[in-house]
Amino acid sequence: MLKIKHFIQQSWLLIVSSFCFGLLIAVTNAAWSPRIEQNQKDKLNNLMRGLIADANDFKMVLEAVQIPGRKGRTTKTDIYEADDVDGRSIGFAFIASGPGFADKIKLVIAVDGKCEKFFGFDVLSSNETPGFGSKIKEDYYRNQFKGAPAGKLELVKVGKTEKLDSKIVAISGATVSSEAVVKIFNMYIDKVKEKLKAKGLIDNGR
């Protein structure tokens, strides 16, 4: 009993400090959450506009689409439709993520209005190794996806990066990161097309 009383007397300051610190963190998070969320939305919109340059507006057409992942796991994504100034659909964009070499890679992927070819991708977030895996952000790698058929892609070690087909040439010294991007594309595209067809947003004569 004396030991417990002594422990409480010695540790009360630590307990109170921990409580106050935790409360401060909670209050700070609550105060900054709206701004952080808005910044994330702004970044997503900017990346989508960069991929679909003729888009006048983006609207969410499918929410929380379940994407089957590895080892029985599933992830969710929202699909956005891009409309031109006349309100015609010219493409779709969605967030896709998967494991990279260092950490999770999160991409924004865009396809044309018929979901026949990719407009390309941009990196929403990534912690890949600087100078190696970080090269997935560079144009010479990303340009291989622009105009590639919107279907299963294949990573190859050698090839012509300027040729627009389903073969994606890996980045020298960053094969794992290169493969991670291709796997993310392949994991999402068929399910996205399936959902768009079920919704009547593609293959409906538009």
- 29-43 confidence digits (pLDDT tens): 565 556 666 677 788
Distances (CA, A) of 175 to 20, 44, 69, 78, 123: 47, 27, 21, 29, 17
pLDDT value of residue 72: 74
C-alpha span between 110 and 120 (Å, rounded): 6
Nearest to 189 by CA among 101, 104, 93, 123: 93
Share of the chain above pLDDT 70, in %: 80
CA dihedral 91, 143, 123, 100 (to 10 degrees): 120
* Residue count (the chain): 206
Residues 162-171 have a mean pLDDT of: 91
Res 185 pLDDT > 60: yes
* Per-residue pLDDT, 12: 57
Residue type, 32: W
> Which of 8, 18, 197 has its CA nearest to residue 114?
197
Q: What is the Cα–Cα distance from 59 to 109, expressed in whole angstroms?
A: 15
Say if residues 173 and 128 touch (Cβ distance below 8 Å): no
pLDDT for the residue 163: 84
pTM for this entry? 0.80
For the cut 80, the answer to whether the pLDDT of residue 10 exceeds it is no
80-110 pLDDT, tens digit each? 999 999 999 999 999 999 999 988 999 999 9
Instruction: Give the pLDDT confidence of 119-162 residue by residue, as tens digits.
Output: 999 999 998 888 888 999 999 999 999 999 999 999 999 888 88
Question: What are the domain boundaries of the chain?
Answer: 45-199
Distance CA 31, CA 41 (A): 17
Q: How far apart are the first and last CA of the chain?
A: 79
Q: Write out pLDDT tens, residues 18-77.
A: 666 666 666 665 655 566 666 777 889 899 999 999 999 999 999 999 998 777 788 999
Residue 63: C-alpha distances to residues 67, 82, 156, 202 (Å): 12, 15, 34, 17
